[in-house]
């Protein structure tokens, strides 16, 4: 063993250095973004393209808010995300409860049918969906996004919730029913509090998905007043190409919510994204 | 008890809304896509059935082959660099002497939680021919070399693929590393006692045991490449010319810009067939010839 230790040491050092160099290369673009969001055009283009801003331009953030519709896009993103998450829970909680705990025939078939949703790329759905949205007169409303977002997240969220509901001991319902509570009371005040951690995972995953969703929104939304951040910011380069610092400020602000969530819930986010990878196709 | 838990009305009330929503928004459109791929349809007037005409046109369409070629280039770059780098990082992080594992994993993972728009706008700036980071580096190094990354006919697709590599390396690392961590320590310990070097450990123990994980990683990377859309839509709009078209981009453009919905459905169907074929092929390549393989962390 001792000998093994001695022989692994140089390679460990090399690996460590390699890892540090790689992580610096990978993380640097993010700092580059933060730096240029705080620089003048002159500094970005000529005097100081790489480093820390010499004279910090907080005014870029003020300009970003004043000149661009960033707050309106933020508002839209918040409304769409919150409504989608509420919708997902409203549909998925009763569904997964009924599919795991209640007694009926055909629940395996129904569960498998929904699981199919995990493997369907958006490309197969989007053309008829866009017609559907138009025919339902939802074009350029929040519902044009909320309804598909809820539907796309059903499969994954119900998978997470079902696993969790299945782990609740049977006695929980039995004693509640004996005490005279109805099925709704039992479900809402006894069972749901027991699966809070799974709800948290489902909500975090849904939030990241919806907050960052670009493809569907870019097809279904064309009106500025309902654009979410990902599509609102996508058109920036052409329109506002003169003020790069303020544009950088917009990009930084748009990323803050997801980065904060990741830093707080790293393990959960990573776990949910790894299991849910198939959802994105 | 069974009476309460088997209450048909409650079951219907709990189950039907989800089933209906899923059917209308997800299932029905899939059927429609396949069905309309046999129609001449502009999305407005009544569709006209034209049999396999759309498929014939697609196979005669040069853009279809160019899009496929780009999809394959994208997929190959993702497999080599995304899965490749994730593997190298996993091997290093599996070394018990490496410190700060959490930090490294987060550093690689953060781009994956950013929106594709933010990532593309940032990389658009990095690739900017006049003042972008890459050309500035060449300038500082005193090299006369400049590259107009995103407006080069040959290079644009590669440049875009690397944006995706950067964004999702951490994601692949997360998949591979978490499975590697789930391998029972005894396997590694036994090999170490037998005097295996770190490299031998990786080559003969770690990677073979991660077969099922690699199956998943490869499928994600390849289908991700074939499906690529958002990056080119933001960075190049398929250009210069049609040099960064992928099959998804072609589908979207046919349907939503040109207004050929039927034809768009046809290329969407081919895209799905392609992805299915890749999934089956990867499953076949990674099949268990000898049977005994450790099931990666779930």
Q: Are residue A95 and residue A214 in the same domain, yes or no?
A: yes
Provide the 8-state DSSP code for B39. E
- Asked whether the beta carbons of B109 and B170 are under 8 A apart, the reply is yes
Beta bridge partners of B48: B40
Q: What separation in angstroms does the CA of A90 have from each of B15, B63, B179? A: 11, 44, 33
By the CB < 8 Å criterion, does A176 face chain B?
no
Radius of gyration for chain A, computed over Cα atoms and rounded to the nearest angstrom: 24
Shortest CA gap A114–chain B (Å): 7
Q: Are residue A169 and residue A32 in the same domain, yes or no?
A: no
Q: What separation in angstroms does the CA of B28 have from each of A136, A237, B65, B170? A: 15, 37, 29, 35
Domain assignment present for B89: yes
B198 CB neighbours in chain A (<8 A) are 8, 11
Residue B95 is predicted with a pLDDT of 83
Shortest CA gap B290–chain A (Å): 27
- Asked whether the beta carbons of A266 and B106 are under 8 A apart, the reply is yes
* Gap between the Cα atoms of B147 and B165, Å rounded: 20
Q: Are residue A103 and residue A226 in the same domain, yes or no?
A: yes
By the CB < 8 Å criterion, does B17 face chain A?
yes
For B44, the token pair is: 């407005």
The 8 Å CB, 24+ separation contacts for A47-52 are A49/B131, A49/B133, A49/B136, A50/B133, A50/B136
Domain assignment present for B189: yes
Domain assignment present for B124: yes
Provide the 8-state DSSP code for B202. I
Shortest CA gap A95–chain B (Å): 5
* Gap between the Cα atoms of A201 and A182, Å rounded: 28
**Which residue, among A127, A191, A249, would best test binding to B if mutated, counting the most B CBs under 10 Å from its CB?**
A127
By the CB < 8 Å criterion, does B255 face chain A?
yes
- Asked whether the beta carbons of B81 and B165 are under 8 A apart, the reply is yes
- Reported ipTM exceeds the 0.85 cut: yes
CB atoms within 10 A of CB B276: 12
Residue B66 is predicted with a pLDDT of 94
The 8 Å CB, 24+ separation contacts for B287-290 are B288/B211
Shortest CA gap B17–chain A (Å): 7
For B83, the token pair is: 């899965």
Within chain B, what is the greatest distance between any pair of CA atoms?
81
Q: Are residue A111 and residue A45 in the same domain, yes or no?
A: no
**Tens of pLDDT, residues B144-190:** 777 788 888 888 999 999 999 999 999 999 999 988 888 888 888 88
* Gap between the Cα atoms of A36 and B78, Å rounded: 28
Asked if B21's CB is within 8 angstroms of A150's CB, the reply is yes
Domain that holds residue A46: 2-61
Beta bridge partners of B49: B39
B6 CB neighbours in chain A (<8 A) are 102-104
Asked if A26's CB is within 8 angstroms of B108's CB, the reply is yes
* Gap between the Cα atoms of A178 and B47, Å rounded: 59
Residue B34: closest CA among chain A residues belongs to which residue?
A124
Q: Which residues of chain A have pLDDT under 70?
A: 1-8, 237-241, 276-281
* Gap between the Cα atoms of A104 and B8, Å rounded: 8
- Asked whether the beta carbons of A134 and B282 are under 8 A apart, the reply is no
The answer for B 221-250 residues in CB contact with A (under 8 A) is 223-224, 227, 229-230, 233-234, 248
Q: Are residue A107 and residue A39 in the same domain, yes or no?
A: no
Q: Are residue A95 and residue A221 in the same domain, yes or no?
A: yes
Q: What separation in angstroms does the CA of A35 have from each of A47, A119, A140, B116? A: 13, 40, 35, 20
**Tens of pLDDT, residues B196-212:** 887 888 888 888 888 88
Q: Are residue A46 and residue A97 in the same domain, yes or no?
A: no
CATH number at residue B210: 1.10.3720.10
Beta bridge partners of B39: B49
- Cα torsion through B27, B31, B36, B41, rounded to 10: -20
Asked if B251's CB is within 8 angstroms of A123's CB, the reply is yes
Residue A137 is predicted with a pLDDT of 92
Domain assignment present for B43: no
∠ CA B265-B244-B250 to the nearest 5 degrees? 10
State how many domains chain B has: 1
Burial class of residue A265, CB neighbours in 10 A (0-12, 13-18, 19+): middle
Would you say how long chain B is, in residues? 298
CATH number at residue A110: 1.10.3720.10
* Gap between the Cα atoms of A109 and B5, Å rounded: 19
Residue B110 is predicted with a pLDDT of 93
**Which residue, among B13, B22, B100, B133, would best test binding to A if mutated, counting the most A CBs under 10 Å from its CB?**
B22
**Tens of pLDDT, residues B92-151:** 998 888 888 889 999 999 999 999 999 999 999 899 888 888 888 888 887 777 778 888
By the CB < 8 Å criterion, does B196 face chain A?
no
A117 CB neighbours in chain B (<8 A) are 22, 26
State how many domains chain A has: 2
Nearest to A123 among B6, B198, B268 (CB): B268
Query: Is A234 or B80 the better-scoring residue by pLDDT?
Result: B80
By the CB < 8 Å criterion, does A21 face chain B?
no
For B34, the token pair is: 């396949």
Query: CA neighbours within 13 Å on the CB side: how many for B47?
Result: 22
Asked if B25's CB is within 8 angstroms of A129's CB, the reply is yes
**Which residue, among A270, A271, A278, A281, would best test binding to B if mutated, counting the most B CBs under 10 Å from its CB?**
A270
**Mean pLDDT for all residues in chain B:** 88
Q: Are residue A118 and residue A243 in the same domain, yes or no?
A: yes
For A244, the token pair is: 């790069």
Domain that holds residue B181: 64-285
Three-state SS annotation for chain A? CHHHHHHHHHHHHHHHHHHHHHHHHHHHHHHHHHHHCCCCHHHHHHHCCCCCCCCCCCHHHHHHHHHCCHHHHHHHHHHHHHHHHHHHHHHHHHHHHHHHHCCCCCHHHHHHHHHHHHHCCCHHHHHHHHHHHHHCCCCCCCHHHHHHHHHHHHHHHHHHHHHHHHCCCCHHHHHHHHCCCCHHHHHHHHHHHHCHHHHHHHHHHHHHHHHHCCHHHHHHCCCHHHCCHHHHHHCHHHHCCCCHHHHHHHHHHHHHHHHHHHHHCHHHHHHHHHHHHHHHC
CB atoms within 10 A of CB A106: 9
Residue A1 is predicted with a pLDDT of 41
* Gap between the Cα atoms of B85 and A33, Å rounded: 24
**Which residue, among A26, A68, A81, A163, would best test binding to B if mutated, counting the most B CBs under 10 Å from its CB?**
A26
Residue A2 is predicted with a pLDDT of 41
By the CB < 8 Å criterion, does B43 face chain A?
yes
Residue B151 is predicted with a pLDDT of 85
For A68, the token pair is: 């661009």
Shortest CA gap A97–chain B (Å): 8
H helix runs in chain B, sequence order? 2-5, 8-22, 28-36, 53-59, 62-77, 84-94, 101-109, 116-126, 133-140, 156-181, 185-193, 198-200, 207-209, 211-226, 230-235, 247-252, 261-285
Asked if A266's CB is within 8 angstroms of B95's CB, the reply is no
Domain assignment present for B291: no
Residue A276 is predicted with a pLDDT of 63
By the CB < 8 Å criterion, does A99 face chain B?
yes
- Asked whether the beta carbons of B198 and A58 are under 8 A apart, the reply is no
Nearest to B104 among A23, A247, A259 (CB): A23
Residue A278 is predicted with a pLDDT of 44
Q: How confident is the model at residue B13 (pLDDT cuts 50, 70, 90)?
A: very high
Would you say how long chain A is, in residues? 281
Q: Are residue A235 and residue A99 in the same domain, yes or no?
A: yes
By the CB < 8 Å criterion, does A277 face chain B?
yes
Shortest CA gap B154–chain A (Å): 23
CB atoms within 10 A of CB B218: 21
Domain assignment present for B31: no
* Gap between the Cα atoms of A268 and A275, Å rounded: 11
């Amino acid at each position: 063993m001792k000998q093994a230790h001695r022989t692994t040491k140089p390679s460990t050092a090399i690996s460590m250095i390699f890892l540090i160099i790689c992580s610096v290369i990978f993380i640097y673009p993010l700092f580059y973004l933060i730096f240029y969001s705080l620089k003048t055009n002159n500094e970005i283009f000529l005097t100081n393209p790489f480093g820390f801003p010499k004279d910090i331009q907080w005014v870029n953030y003020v300009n970003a808010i004043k000149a661009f519709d960033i707050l309106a896009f933020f508002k839209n993103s918040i409304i769409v995300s919150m409504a989608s998450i509420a919708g997902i829970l409203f549909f998925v909680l009763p569904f997964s409860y009924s599919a795991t705990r209640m007694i009926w025939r055909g629940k395996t078939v129904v569960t498998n049918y929904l699981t199919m949703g995990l493997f369907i790329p958006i490309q197969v759905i989007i053309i008829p969906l866009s017609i559907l949205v138009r025919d339902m007169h939802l074009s350029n409303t929040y519902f044009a996004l909320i309804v598909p977002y809820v539907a796309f997240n059903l499969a994954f969220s119900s998978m997470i919730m079902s696993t969790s509901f299945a782990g609740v001991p049977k006695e929980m319902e039995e004693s509640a029913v004996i005490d005279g509570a109805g099925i709704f009371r039992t479900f809402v005040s006894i069972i749901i509090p027991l699966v809070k951690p799974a709800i948290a995972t489902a909500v975090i995953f849904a939030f990241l998905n919806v907050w960052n969703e670009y493809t569907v929104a870019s097809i279904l939304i064309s009106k500025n007043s309902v654009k979410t951040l990902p599509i609102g910011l996508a058109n920036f380069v052409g329109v506002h190409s003169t003020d790069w610092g303020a544009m950088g400020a917009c990009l930084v602000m748009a990323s803050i919510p997801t980065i904060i969530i990741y830093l707080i819930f790293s393990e959960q986010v990573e776990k949910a994204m790894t299991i849910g990878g198939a959802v994105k196709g | 008890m069974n009476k309460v838990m088997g209450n048909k009305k409650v079951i219907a009330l709990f189950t039907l809304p989800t089933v209906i929503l899923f059917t209308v928004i997800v299932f029905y459109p899939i059927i429609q896509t396949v069905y309309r791929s046999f129609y001449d349809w502009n999305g407005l007037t009544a569709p006209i059935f034209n049999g396999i005409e759309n498929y014939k046109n697609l196979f005669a369409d040069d853009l279809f082959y160019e899009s496929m070629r780009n999809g394959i280039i994208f997929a190959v770059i993702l497999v080599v660099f995304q899965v490749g780098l994730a593997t190298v990082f996993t091997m290093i992080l599996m070394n018990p002497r490496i410190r700060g594992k959490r930090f490294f994993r987060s550093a690689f993972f953060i781009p994956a939680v950013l929106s594709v728009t933010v990532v593309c706008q940032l990389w658009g700036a990095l690739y900017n021919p006049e003042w972008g980071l890459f050309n500035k580096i060449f300038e500082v190094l005193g090299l006369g070399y400049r590259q107009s990354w995103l407006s080069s006919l040959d290079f644009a697709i590669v440049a875009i693929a690397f944006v995706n590599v950067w964004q999702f390396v951490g994601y692949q690392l997360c998949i591979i590393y978490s499975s590697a961590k789930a391998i029972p320590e005894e396997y590694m310990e036994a090999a170490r006692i037998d005097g295996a070097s770190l490299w031998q450990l990786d080559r003969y123990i770690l990677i073979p045991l991660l077969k099922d994980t690699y199956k998943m990683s490869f499928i994600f990377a390849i289908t991700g490449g074939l499906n690529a859309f958002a990056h080119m839509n933001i960075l190049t709009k398929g250009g210069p010319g049609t040099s960064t078209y992928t099959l998804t981009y072609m589908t979207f453009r046919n349907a939503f810009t040109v207004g050929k919905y039927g034809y768009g459905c046809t290329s969407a169907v081919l895209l799905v067939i392609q992805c299915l074929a890749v999934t089956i092929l990867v499953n076949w390549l990674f099949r268990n010839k000898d049977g005994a393989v450790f099931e990666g962390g779930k």
